[in-house]
Homo-oligomer: A and B are copies of this chain.
Amino acid sequence: MTMTMNKQIHLVSRPTGEAVAENFKLVEAVVPELQDGQVLVRVHYLSLDPYMRGRMNDAKSYAAPQPLNAVMQGGTVGEVVASKNAAYAVGDKVVGFGGWQQYSVVDAATPGMLRKVDTTHIPLSAYLGAVGMPGVTAWYGLTQICKPKAGQTVVVSAASGAVGSAVGQLAKARGCRAVGIAGGADKCRYVVDELGFDACVDYKAHPDPKSLYEALKAATPDGVDGAFENVGGPVFDATLARMNAFGRIALCGMISGYDGEPIPLRQPQLILTNRLTIEGFIVSEHMELWPQALQELGTMVATGKLKYRESVAQGIEAAPQAFLGLLKGKNFGKQVVKLV
């Protein structure tokens, strides 16, 4: 048989502070022969997600660290190109956790490793975003933690991103006022004009906390009932200061602190005076709700009611720079890498 070469991106060192290109290395390997039960997937898209930054550290966290000198782990979509598993046929479109490489060998019998998807009405790459982990993250935090009622106000940070854009549109679908926080006028325009949020605050236009607070106050005249926090730091401080009594905060990410800089919460006493609930969550720990979430998300995408944007990097070699850009907010919408 012919050997299939497989370009991979490995993590070869851990960041000290900011992550840099030198933490990654392009490696070429040979695709091993399939064993019984296995499936060979040609990866079409890699998913790049902020949580990966946390896993680059060798720190106690909810997930084991990304191993050194191994393929960067991550979600992928692709096509089955060889199969020794009766449940999968060549040509099947699949979503899985193939990592940053062109081909992945999957023990397809292990539950949760691979899932066939229908691309009739939903683009394949959407299974990494609006109809994938980010979409379910948005759905879970909004419906299970924020639990907003019609007429209430929901604020979400990183509002133009894969998670944030879904949070606001799901909130709008529930009759809420949706207010985004995003970095830059372009992103804010997109959030309001394309995604249909009621307002969006450009945090880059408000570098001091007082100004940011005033801008968010103007955008949330009735206060905030549900908050979905992806950023942390001053953005979280401003949101906390706008919470109404009995408000609920889903804490999903704190990307502003991923390089290790301090991101204190300045006024935790507001949690008490306003009787708030704050809950941190990891969507992969709530798999029992994924089918319900994916059904709503898939229907909304297929019917055009859940819009999203992608930043598409081209080729496996582009993955590290695209990822570093994501950490700085250079992406616009869901960041993927297109390999095919």
CA–CA, A271 to B240, complex, Å? 15
Asked if B280 and A252 sit within 8 Å, CB to CB, the answer is no
Stretch at the interface among A38-46, A154-162, A261-269: A261-269
A245 — nearest CB in chain B belongs to which residue? B62
- Minimum CB distance partner of A253 in chain B: B272
A275 contacts which of B245, B265, B267, B280 (Cβ < 8 Å)? B280
Residues of B within 8 A of A251 (CB): 268, 271-272
Of the listed residues A245, A263, A264, A268, the one surrounded by the most CB atoms of chain B closer than 10 A to its CB is: A268
Digitize A17-61: 1 where CB-to-B-CB distance is under 8 Å, 0 elsewhere. Answer: 000000000000000000000000000000000000010000011
Q: Is A257 part of the binding interface, using a Cβ–Cβ cutoff of 8 Å?
A: yes
Most chain B beta-carbon contacts within 10 A, residue among A251, A267, A274: A251
Q: How far is the CA of A227 from the CA of B272 in the complex (A)?
A: 14
Is the Cβ of A268 less than 8 Å from the Cβ of B281?
no
Residues of chain B within 8 A (CB-CB) of A186 are none
Query: By DSSP majority rule, is chain A's interface helix, strand, loop, or mixed?
Result: loop
**Chain B proximity mask over A218-262: 1 for CB below 8 Å, otherwise 0:** 000000000000001000100000000100000111100100001
In-complex Cβ contact of A263 among B60, B257, B268, B275 (8 A):
B268
Q: Which residues of B contact A60 (CB under 8 A)?
A: 273
- Bound together, the chains give a CA A273 to CA B236 distance in angstroms of 16
B275 near A277 with CB under 8 A, answer: no
Tell me, rounded to whole Å, the shortest Cβ–Cβ distance linking A230 to chain B: 10
The CA of A281 and the CA of B282, in the complex, are separated in Å by: 25
Contact of A264 among B62, B268, B274, B278 (CB under 8 A): B268
On whether the beta carbons of A277 and B274 are closer than 8 Å, the reply is: no
A288 close to chain B: CB less than 8 A: no
Q: Is the CB of A271 within 8 A of B275?
A: no
Which residues on the B side are within 8 Å of A62 (C-beta)?
A: 245, 273-275
Check A280 against B285 for contact (C-beta < 8 Å): no
Considering only residues 268-326 of chain A, those with a C-beta below 8 Å from chain B are 268-269, 271-282, 285
Docked-complex contact B280 and A254, CB < 8 angstroms: no
User: In the complex the two chains form, is A282's CB within 8 Å of B271's CB?
Assistant: no
Interface contacts beyond A265-B268, A275-B279: sample of 19 additional A-B pairs, CB < 8 Å, sorted by A: A60-B273, A62-B245, A62-B274, A232-B268, A257-B269, A262-B266, A263-B268, A264-B265, A264-B268, A271-B280, A273-B280, A275-B281, A276-B278, A276-B279, A276-B280, A277-B277, A277-B278, A278-B278, A278-B279
Q: Which 8 A-B pairs have the closest CB atoms?
A: A272-B280, A264-B264, A265-B265, A265-B268, A271-B280, A278-B278, A254-B269, A277-B279
11 of the cross-chain contacts (CB-CB < 8 Å) are A253-B272, A254-B269, A254-B272, A263-B269, A265-B268, A268-B268, A271-B279, A272-B280, A275-B279, A275-B280, A276-B280
